[in-house]
């Protein structure tokens, strides 16, 4: 990798902060963990912290107050932050997302999908040493510190109690999402409803017995004690409060509860659609915004602005003034699962979804075919529009789709024009239309892997990205491997800049963004400010820069 | 990374989590989630509640009395029902059961099966702790324990007696420890039991003889075995070829044996052997008659007192019938190949032989028996070397092919049947043998850790042959030698017993099999009156008349030897069963029931039931205690991946982003998918599809292996359903082997055949699963170094064929590159070198050859 060349740097990141996973009320505001960053709410102001600010990952699932600072659990590790400035003081990386944090017996315990860890040291002095694995339990979702020991709730592995260095499996509910400690009592929010433990003993309560009758959904994700009341939040049934005799629904609290916190008489409810605050006076305030999802899948630009496709939350249009407009199934888009975007010669947007293909015409989305079919990609090839559906390659003939004849290979992944020819990458190699028939290239012909996920033309030569064989260049002298072993995301291969000074940008699965100049290479990942290491789509910005869609949000990269 | 979601969606049709949708038994039986027991509707019930099994054996001479105690515990916070399916020796006469709840001991009663079930169910409904013992097969039993309270262990003890076989100077005890997976043919008809397989038209109780399996060392319970051995005569050192045991000699006749602490995972049969010289085996009669007003029972044990003369060998025609089903893959197949190789190499010059193989189809090495020549032996050995385990087990077809195979009437036809016996339609097979054995003999050879001994020994019994079992830990050479000695020539044949006027009836076996050198004669009978007489045993010894006499006294009263009565009753019940030929006969069934009730014996139609008369589960009447089916260990050496035939797994893919579809009412409040590592996805209703759907990410770093999605369906009425849907992440390329079926000559067309070879990665991927992938190769291509390319086509599960034009200028060797892609898109590549014959007239060496023989048409062309 070249250290001298620095072609691009992350200039800005756009995420969505509506998917709230953790809430920590503080004086004058709250810290909110979302999949699009850690949000600091101060009155009406919001400030979003992400990887550019030093977080190990932008998706924050757990928060813990420690003195005047906070500890944030993210998908990439733990971060210790100054409570006022939000500056990251220290981090420790984890192999799996962090779901829970608690201080117990002087150490910080970190619950992750890959197990339970602990580290000593406090917020003032910072963590000492590395994270140390504790026990063999996995899929940790919730932690609670009590005088009887540390309760460890898991997703599918039941409940455990860590007592004096020894483990005890309490069995009981398989999925424990959250816990609330009240003296010797531990309340569990589980997929089977509410549970109460006194020490290691399960105790049945009236609130629990009436649960199946009173609550529409028993999959509880949060439980809190508020004064004399007990409040639970469920996945699909909203928030309910126990008044001693029955469960009372909290209105407009959102249906799918992912997190809950209490401050005084206020209850903060985190949902996939944002943060809601149920005040003492019953008022509801909604917080959250940005992109509809941080799991992005496609990019395109039309006269209306920058189009951003998401994995399963529809489409966002970022207008030149920076405002965002969202489109999903409820707002005219055929399907929320966007696979690819393309812009035809007339400047119209085409959207390939899991349930068909649409074109945006006159401000509306019109069905253009393959209703209820999975459309893997759509691409503009010169004057034509091609799409992959039903395992075949098709071309749009104005009123209908016509299949290409006898294209070798199967399951087309990407297509690009090369001169007057069409190049098609598929799960079974590369096909080139020579004008007199198709030429089929496979691993036997030197391709690093037969699963070709992306094709692009650069400096008159064909670039071929593969699933796990890396990036190759096909030239007059044969196949040359430019970047061995990297997994190239489907369609995530573009040439950037002018012909003379052009380089290639490659979006990889798990290894960030790659920029190649044939001789030189630059790699950017989370450390360099990308929101995620999975780069799913790329779009030159026309000014020497690049938009990069990732699974953690959208990055704009510009020359430094 | 976006994989081809269309392919994945189509491939993941099985991810549509359907509550209890029936399917063909041969295809994709619902696999368990690793470590968990699964109810027939697919919902996970929880961990195994069987904590421990304790086995105490008392051996006296040739009779063993065994007490097996299962200890159950409840890890939940509410009462549960435990269901546990386990094996016992097929000759076991189960004659007692008791249940201990805390400090209370309840002795079970023997009842008609239906009555016992009704009593049990009534107790269960009313909250009483109860246990029920049912016989599913002569060697498979199920214990049901209702209302197991949290924190109160329950022990269920059963007792059985059996006689122990003796051969080649060794007496042997076999204690089976796990039930092997069974191939279940037929069309599903329902799912009455807790097992993984539905009931089918050919195996109506399949759901009761197919317990879920657990990955090795992870079922959570162990077993302790202690044996008090009194051989009755001087014996050699006891040993176990299967387990590590501690032996403490008490004196020359007695020893105490215990299973070693580290060897307590119940995943293979326990075998204990002790040498006893034939001269020390005394002939005699053991009798039992509790009083003068009841029947007495006896066991006649006779050790032939003649030494075998020099061999006068009858020419034999040996037909080897080899099981090549999926469950044979791996060590069982290797052992079978070793056995057959040894047998073929040691044939007598005047013997002839044939080799047949079967799984779901049959084929033969040759259409007619082959003379025992070096060339034919080489051909046979090459054929055997090429056999692999795949497909289901259609043993009936294999048998029929063997019986229909052309024969030489001047030779003694011996059918040697090699299998692990993992099949469920035993009745059909035994009936076939009974109908068609004629003058032939049938020997069965079982290979594996937990073979179906009942089936194998019944096959040998019907075929007047013998059975041998080789565990995976045996050195096959020893077993082969012993087996072949018996095969060479029976020692004592055409045996008859003249009881000399004694009032003896109901004798078993009715048709006494041939005996081999060193093997004693064992006959069980009933007597109505006391008496004294001379018993004569007649037969032919190496073709010459033989007679041996024994003075016998049948006592009027003999309170000792009660096991003799149980053993006789067991034989009687088995004889009545055989007489029904798998059908029903009211009179015979009533007779069977009466024998079982009179002798307090388990049978197909009688069960033990014990009820503790105290209510334990009065709360939550709306929520009866959940049922947990105890998983059993997969037998050692069985590749769970290939145990069940040719169905392709449909939930197998590379890391990517597949789609999940769930059948649930449109009115459901929520349908939620819980993925490994805690990720939750809300599914949404798609009206056009009529399904709830979502798509999810399988991250690149996900290790290969089996995972499960938990699906919660919150219905409009407030109830919640839970489903589990497993899937597999696979990132390894397949490996294949390639052979040429024709001589490889320059300019000629050669037929190629390829088979997938399952790697350690494949086995690791499916360890613990019962869903098997016979072959997951989706595409196979062969390329020469000159660029000639041919795509092979699938001709049968796991077998691909195609034709390649050999270049005209090919000389010396032809190098072929074989590229295989599996259904998950992984690619594997290998290079094969084939020798090229320089001239067309040169006889090129044939790597493999095989003749397809129609099982019904083998009569044509007989000599």
pLDDT of residue B547: 87
Let me know: does A550 contact A531? Beta carbons within 8 Å: yes
Helix axes B586-599, B562-579, angle to 10 degrees: 170
Determine the Cα–Cα distance for residues A376 and B663; give it in Å rounded to an integer.
Answer: 25
Residue B266 has pLDDT above 80, yes or no: no
**What average pLDDT score do residues A348-369 get?**
92
**What average pLDDT score do residues A115-128 get?**
79
| Residue A500 contacts B, CB cutoff 8 Å | no
A303 and A218 within one domain = no
pLDDT of residue B342: 80
Residue A258 covered by a domain? no
Instruction: Tell me the pLDDT band of B765, cut-offs 50, 70 and 90.
Output: low
Looking at mean pLDDT, say which of A437-441, B472-476, B658-662 comes out highest.
Answer: A437-441
Residue A245 covered by a domain? no
Determine the Cα–Cα distance for residues B147 and B144; give it in Å rounded to an integer.
Answer: 10
pLDDT tens, residue by residue, A155-182: 877 889 999 888 888 766 788 999 999 9
**Could you tell me what percent of chain A has a pLDDT over 70?**
94
Q: Which of A156, A216, A272 sits opposite B669 (nearest CB)?
A: A216
Instruction: Tell me the pLDDT band of B260, cut-offs 50, 70 and 90.
Output: confident
pLDDT of residue B124: 84
Question: Phi, psi (5° rounding) for residue A504?
Answer: -110, 135
Helix axes B395-404, B426-436, angle to 10 degrees: 10
pLDDT of residue A33: 95
Q: Which residue has the higher pLDDT, A480 or B12?
A: A480
Angle (CA) A543 A546 A551, round 5°: 160
| Residue B9 contacts A, CB cutoff 8 Å | yes
Determine the Cα–Cα distance for residues A444 and A430; give it in Å rounded to an integer.
Answer: 12
Contact A97 B677 (CB under 8 A): yes
Instruction: Tell me the pLDDT band of B302, cut-offs 50, 70 and 90.
Output: confident
Residue B771 has pLDDT above 50, yes or no: no
pLDDT of residue B321: 93
pLDDT of residue B197: 65
Residue B557 has pLDDT above 60, yes or no: yes
pLDDT of residue A188: 94
**DSSP alpha helix (H) spans, B424-472:** 426-436, 453-462
Residue B759 has pLDDT above 70, yes or no: no
Residue A433 covered by a domain? yes
Residue A4 has pLDDT above 90, yes or no: no
**What average pLDDT score do residues B110-139 get?**
87
Least CA distance to B785: which residue of chain A?
Answer: A444
- The average confidence (pLDDT) of chain B is 74
User: Would you call the peptide bond into B733 cis, given omega within 30 degrees of 0 as the criterion?
Assistant: no
Residue A66 has pLDDT above 50, yes or no: yes
**The CATH number, out of the four listed (3.30.360.10, 2.60.40.1930, 3.90.650.10, 3.40.47.10), of the domain defined by the range B735-835:** 2.60.40.1930
**What average pLDDT score do residues A320-343 get?**
92
**What average pLDDT score do residues A339-356 get?**
94
**What average pLDDT score do residues B161-181 get?**
80
**What average pLDDT score do residues B479-493 get?**
67
Determine the Cα–Cα distance for residues B360 and B325; give it in Å rounded to an integer.
Answer: 7
Contact B5 A534 (CB under 8 A): no
Residue A388 has pLDDT above 70, yes or no: yes
Residue B788 has pLDDT above 50, yes or no: yes
What CATH number does the domain containing A398 carry?
Answer: 2.130.10.10
Residue A286 covered by a domain? no
Q: Please give the structure tokens belonging to residue A494.
A: 């573009």
Residue B12 has pLDDT above 60, yes or no: no
User: What are the respective helix, strand and coil percentages of chain A, to the nearest 5?
Assistant: 5, 60, 40
Q: Which residue has the higher pLDDT, A168 or B863?
A: A168
Q: Residue A293: which of A276, A274, A277 has the closest Cα? A: A274
Q: Which residue has the higher pLDDT, B222 or B11?
A: B222
Residue to mutate among B672, B677, B715, B823, with most A CBs inside 10 A, is: B677
Determine the Cα–Cα distance for residues A67 and A84; give it in Å rounded to an integer.
Answer: 11
Let me know: does A191 contact A218? Beta carbons within 8 Å: yes
**What average pLDDT score do residues A264-280 get?**
84
Residue A1 has pLDDT above 60, yes or no: no
Count of C-beta atoms within a 10 Å radius of residue B560: 10
What's the CATH class of domain B316-488?
alpha beta
A331 and A209 within one domain = no
Determine the Cα–Cα distance for residues B513 and B497; give it in Å rounded to an integer.
Answer: 12
Q: Please give the structure tokens belonging to residue B182.
A: 């069974």
pLDDT of residue B677: 61
A316 and A199 within one domain = no
Boundary (domain end) residue, out of A175, A203, A229 = A229
Residue A354 covered by a domain? yes
Boundary (domain end) residue, out of A229, A256, A271 = A229
Residue A446 covered by a domain? yes
| Residue B682 contacts A, CB cutoff 8 Å | yes
pLDDT of residue A555: 96
> Structural domain of residue A491, as residue ranges?
296-558
Let me know: does B332 contact B420? Beta carbons within 8 Å: yes
Spell out the domain ranges in chain B.
5-18+647-729, 37-275+603-615, 316-488, 735-835
Strand-pair partners of B297: B288, B526
A311 and A221 within one domain = no
- With 0-12 CB in 10 A as exposed, 13-18 as middle and 19+ as buried, what is B729? buried
Residue corresponding to tokens 């000695």: B485
Give residues 125 to 154 of A whose Cβ lies within 8 Å of B. 139, 141
DSSP string, A416-435: EEETTEEEEEETTEEEEE-S
A553 and A425 within one domain = yes
Q: Residue B818: which of B807, B831, B827, B806 has the closest Cα? A: B831
pLDDT of residue B533: 92
**Could you tell me what percent of chain B has a pLDDT over 90?**
12
A309 and A192 within one domain = no
Residue A159 covered by a domain? yes
Q: Residue A462: which of A445, A444, A480 has the closest Cα? A: A480
| Residue A392 contacts B, CB cutoff 8 Å | no
Question: Phi, psi (5° rounding) for residue B748?
Answer: -95, 170
Q: Which residue has the higher pLDDT, A31 or A264?
A: A31
**What average pLDDT score do residues A520-544 get?**
91
A38 and A149 within one domain = yes
Q: Residue B654: which of A487, A151, A190, A415 has the closest Cα? A: A487
A462 and A545 within one domain = yes
Instruction: Tell me the pLDDT band of A281, cut-offs 50, 70 and 90.
Output: low
Give residues 785 to 824 of B whose Cβ lies within 8 Å of A. 789, 817, 819, 821
pLDDT of residue B652: 38
Least confident of A10-24, A497-511, B177-191: B177-191
Q: Which of B678, B720, B779 sits opposite A141 (nearest CB)?
A: B678
Residue A498 has pLDDT above 70, yes or no: no
Q: Which residue has the higher pLDDT, A383 or A350?
A: A350
Residue A43 has pLDDT above 80, yes or no: no
pLDDT of residue A223: 96
A176 and A45 within one domain = yes
CATH, domain range B37-275+603-615: 2.60.40
**What average pLDDT score do residues B328-356 get?**
81
Residue A330 in 3-state DSSP?
Answer: helix
Q: Which residue has the higher pLDDT, A166 or B36?
A: A166
Q: Residue A394: which of A383, A378, A374 has the closest Cα? A: A378
- With 0-12 CB in 10 A as exposed, 13-18 as middle and 19+ as buried, what is B786? exposed
Contact A451 B825 (CB under 8 A): yes
A319 and A225 within one domain = no
Q: Are the folds of B316-488 and B735-835 the same?
A: no
Strand-pair partners of A47: A40
Give residues 757 to 786 of B whose Cβ lies within 8 Å of A. 779, 783
Contact A443 B827 (CB under 8 A): yes
Residue to mutate among A21, A158, A314, A443, with most B CBs inside 10 A, is: A443
Least confident of A40-54, A513-527, B447-461: B447-461
Determine the Cα–Cα distance for residues B134 and B346; give it in Å rounded to an integer.
Answer: 45
**What average pLDDT score do residues B819-847 get?**
67
pLDDT of residue B658: 75
A317 and A208 within one domain = no
For A123-147, give the secondary structure using H, E and C: CCCCCEEEEEEECCCCCEEEEEEEC
pLDDT of residue B701: 63
| Residue B626 contacts A, CB cutoff 8 Å | no
A136 and A43 within one domain = yes
| Residue A353 contacts B, CB cutoff 8 Å | no
Residue corresponding to tokens 């995976």: B472
Residue A505 covered by a domain? yes
Least confident of A80-94, A442-456, A502-516, B752-766: B752-766
Contact B779 A467 (CB under 8 A): no
Boundary (domain end) residue, out of A189, A208, A229 = A229
Contact A156 B7 (CB under 8 A): no
- With 0-12 CB in 10 A as exposed, 13-18 as middle and 19+ as buried, what is A35? buried
Q: Please give the structure tokens belonging to residue A130.
A: 């590395």
Number of domains in chain A: 2
pLDDT tens, residue by residue, A137-160: 888 999 999 999 999 999 877 889
pLDDT of residue B568: 92
pLDDT of residue B758: 66
Instruction: Tell me the pLDDT band of A466, cut-offs 50, 70 and 90.
Output: very high
**What average pLDDT score do residues A271-290 get?**
71
pLDDT of residue A45: 81
pLDDT tens, residue by residue, B412-422: 788 999 987 66
Residue B63 has pLDDT above 50, yes or no: yes
pLDDT of residue B845: 36
The DSSP element (H or E) to which A396 belongs, if any, is strand A392-396
pLDDT of residue A347: 94
- ipTM reported for the complex, 2 dp: 0.86
pLDDT of residue A530: 93
pLDDT of residue A218: 81
A526 secondary structure, DSSP code: G
**Domain B5-18+647-729 CATH superfamily:** Immunoglobulins (2.60.40.10)
């Amino acid at each position: 990798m070249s250290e001298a060349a620095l072609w691009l740097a992350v200039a800005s990141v756009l995420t969505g902060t509506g998917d709230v996973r953790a809430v920590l009320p503080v004086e004058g505001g709250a810290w909110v963990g979302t999949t699009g960053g850690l949000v600091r709410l101060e009155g009406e102001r919001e400030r979003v912290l992400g990887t550019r600010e030093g977080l190990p990952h932008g998706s924050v699932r757990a928060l813990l107050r420690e003195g005047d600072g906070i500890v944030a659990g993210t998908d990439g590790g733990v971060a210790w932050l100054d409570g006022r400035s939000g500056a990251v003081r220290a981090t420790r990386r984890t192999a799996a997302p962090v779901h829970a944090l608690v201080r117990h017996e002087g150490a910080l315990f970190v619950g992750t999908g890959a197990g339970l860890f602990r580290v000593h040291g406090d917020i003032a002095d910072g963590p000492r040493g590395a994270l140390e694995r504790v026990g063999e339990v996995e899929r940790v979702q919730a932690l609670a510190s009590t005088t009887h020991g540390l309760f460890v709730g898991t997703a599918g592995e039941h409940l455990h109690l860590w007592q004096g260095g020894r483990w005890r499996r309490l069995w009981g509910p398989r999925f424990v999402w959250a816990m609330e400690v009240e003296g010797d009592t531990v309340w569990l929010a589980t997929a089977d409803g509410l549970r109460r433990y006194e020490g290691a003993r399960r105790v049945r309560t009236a609130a629990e017995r009436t649960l199946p009758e009173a609550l529409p959904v028993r999959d509880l994700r949060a439980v809190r004690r508020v004064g004399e009341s007990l409040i639970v939040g469920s996945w699909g049934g909203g928030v309910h409060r126990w008044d001693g005799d029955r469960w009372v629904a909290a209105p407009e609290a959102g249906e799918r509860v992912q997190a809950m916190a209490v401050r005084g008489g206020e209850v903060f409810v985190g949902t996939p659609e944002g943060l809601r605050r149920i005040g003492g006076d019953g008022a509801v305030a909604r917080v959250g915004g940005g992109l509809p999802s941080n799991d992005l899948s496609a990019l395109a630009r039309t006269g209306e602005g920058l189009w951003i496709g998401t994995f399963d939350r529809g489409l966002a249009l970022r207008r030149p003034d920076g405002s965002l407009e969202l489109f999903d199934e409820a707002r005219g888009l055929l399907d929320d699962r966007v696979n690819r975007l393309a812009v035809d010669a007339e400047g119209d947007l085409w959207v390939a979804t899991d349930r068909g293909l649409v074109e945006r015409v006159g401000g509306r989305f019109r069905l253009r075919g393959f209703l209820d079919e999975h459309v893997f990609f759509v691409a503009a090839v010169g004057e034509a529009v091609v799409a992959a559906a039903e395992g075949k390659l098709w071309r749009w003939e104005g009123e209908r789709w016509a299949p290409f004849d006898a294209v070798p290979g199967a399951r087309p992944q990407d297509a690009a024009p090369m001169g007057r020819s069409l190049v098609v990458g598929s799960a079974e190699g590369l096909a080139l239309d020579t004008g007199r028939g198709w030429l089929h290239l496979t691993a036997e012909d030197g391709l690093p892997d037969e699963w070709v996920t992306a094709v692009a033309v650069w400096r008159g030569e064909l670039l071929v990205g593969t699933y796990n064989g890396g990036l190759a260049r096909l030239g007059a002298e044969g196949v040359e491997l430019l970047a061995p072993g990297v997994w190239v995301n489907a369609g995530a291969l573009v040439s950037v800049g002018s012909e003379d000074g052009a380089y290639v940008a490659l979006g990889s699965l798990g290894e960030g963004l790659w920029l190649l100049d044939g001789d030189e290479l630059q790699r950017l990942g989370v450390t360099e400010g990308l929101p995620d290491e999975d780069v799913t789509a790329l779009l030159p910005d026309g000014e020497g820069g690049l938009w990069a869609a990732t699974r953690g949000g959208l990055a704009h990269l510009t020359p430094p | 990374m976006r994989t081809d979601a269309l392919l994945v969606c189509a491939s993941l049709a099985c991810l549509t989590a359907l509550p209890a949708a029936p399917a063909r038994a041969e295809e994709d039986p619902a696999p368990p989630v690793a470590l968990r027991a699964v109810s027939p509707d697919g919902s996970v019930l929880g961990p195994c509640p069987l904590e421990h099994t304790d086995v105490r054996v008392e051996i006296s001479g040739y009779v063993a009395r065994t007490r097996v105690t299962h200890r159950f515990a409840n890890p939940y916070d509410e009462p549960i029902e435990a269901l546990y399916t386990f094996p016992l020796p097929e000759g076991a006469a189960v004659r007692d059961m008791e249940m201990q709840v805390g400090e209370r001991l309840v002795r079970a009663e023997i009842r008609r099966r239906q009555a016992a079930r009704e009593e049990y169910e009534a107790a269960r409904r009313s909250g009483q702790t109860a246990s029920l013992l049912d016989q599913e097969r002569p060697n498979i039993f199920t214990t049901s324990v209702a209302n197991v309270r949290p924190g109160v262990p329950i022990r269920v003890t059963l007792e059985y007696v059996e006689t122990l076989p003796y051969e080649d100077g060794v007496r042997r005890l076999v204690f089976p420890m796990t039930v092997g997976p069974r191939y279940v043919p037929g069309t599903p008809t329902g799912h009455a039991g807790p097992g993984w397989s539905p009931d089918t038209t050919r195996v109506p109780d399949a759901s009761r003889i197919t317990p879920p399996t657990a990955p090795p060392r992870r079922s959570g319970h162990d077993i302790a075995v202690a044996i008090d051995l009194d051989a009755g005569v001087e014996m050699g050192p006891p040993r176990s070829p299967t387990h590590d045991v501690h032996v403490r000699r008490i004196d020359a006749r007695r020893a105490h044996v215990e299973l070693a602490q580290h060897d307590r995972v119940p995943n293979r049969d326990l075998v204990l052997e002790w040498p006893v010289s034939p001269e020390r085996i005394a002939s005699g009669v053991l009798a039992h008659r509790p009083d003068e007003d009841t029947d007495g029972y006896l066991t006649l044990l006779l050790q032939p007192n003649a030494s075998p003369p020099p061999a006068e060998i009858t020419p034999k025609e040996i037909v080897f019938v080899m099981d090549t089903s999926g469950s044979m893959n791996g060590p069982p197949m290797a052992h079978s190949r070793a056995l057959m190789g040894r047998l073929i190499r040691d044939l007598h010059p005047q013997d002839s032989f044939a080799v047949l193989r079967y799984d779901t189809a049959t084929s033969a090495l040759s259409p007619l028996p082959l003379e025992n020549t070096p060339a034919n032996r080489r051909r046979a050995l090459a054929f055997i070397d090429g056999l692999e385990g795949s497909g289901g087990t259609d043993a009936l077809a294999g048998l029929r092919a063997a019986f229909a195979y052309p024969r030489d009437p001047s030779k003694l036809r011996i059918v040697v049947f090699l299998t692990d016996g993992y099949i469920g339609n035993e009745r059909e097979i035994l009936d076939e043998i009974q109908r068609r054995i004629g003058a032939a003999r049938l020997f069965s050879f079982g290979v594996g850790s937990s073979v179906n001994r009942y089936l194998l020994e019944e096959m040998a019994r019907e075929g007047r042959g013998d059975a041998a079992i080789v565990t995976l830990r045996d050195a096959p050479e020893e077993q082969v030698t012993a087996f072949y000695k018996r095969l060479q020539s029976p020692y004592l044949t055409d045996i008859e017993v003249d009881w000399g006027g004694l009032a003896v009836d109901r004798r078993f076996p009715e048709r006494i099999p041939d005996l081999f050198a060193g093997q004693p004669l064992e006959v069980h009978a009933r007597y109505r009156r006391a008496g004294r007489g001379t018993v004569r045993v007649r037969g032919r010894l190496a073709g010459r008349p033989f007679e041996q006499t024994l003075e016998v006294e049948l006592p009027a009263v003999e309170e000792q030897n009660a096991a003799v009565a149980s053993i006789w009753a067991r034989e009687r019940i088995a004889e009545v069963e055989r007489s029904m030929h798998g059908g029903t006969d009211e009179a015979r069934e009533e007779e069977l029931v009466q024998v079982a009730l009179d002798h307090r014996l388990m049978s197909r139609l009688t069960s033990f039931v014990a009820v503790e008369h105290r209510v334990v589960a009065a709360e939550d009447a709306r929520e009866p205690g959940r049922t947990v089916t105890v998983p059993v260990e997969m037998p050692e050496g069985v590749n769970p991946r290939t145990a069940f035939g040719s169905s392709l797994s449909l939930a197998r893919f590379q890391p990517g982003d597949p789609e999940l579809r769930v059948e649930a009412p449109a009115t459901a409040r929520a349908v939620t998918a819980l993925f490994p590592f805690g990720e939750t996805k809300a599914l949404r209703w798609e009206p056009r599809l009529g399904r709830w759907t979502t798509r999810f990410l399988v991250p690149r770093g996900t290790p290969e292996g089996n995972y499960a999605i938990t699906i919660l369906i919150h219905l409009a009425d407030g109830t919640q359903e839970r489903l589990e849907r497993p899937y597999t992440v696979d990132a390894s390329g397949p490996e294949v082997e390639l052979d040429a079926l024709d001589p490889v000559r320059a300019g000629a067309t050669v037929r190629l055949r390829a088979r997938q070879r399952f790697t350690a990665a494949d086995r690791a991927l499916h360890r613990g699963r019962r869903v098997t992938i016979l072959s997951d190769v989706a595409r196979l291509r062969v390329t020469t170094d000159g660029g000639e390319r041919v795509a092979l086509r699938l001709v049968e599960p796991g077998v691909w064929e195609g034709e390649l034009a050999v270049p005209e200028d090919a000389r010396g060797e032809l190098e072929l590159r074989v590229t295989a892609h599996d259904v998950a898109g992984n690619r594997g590549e290998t290079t094969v070198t084939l020798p090229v014959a320089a001239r067309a007239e040169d006889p090129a060496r044939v790597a493999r050859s095989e003749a397809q023989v129609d099982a019904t048409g083998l009569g044509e062309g007989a000599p």
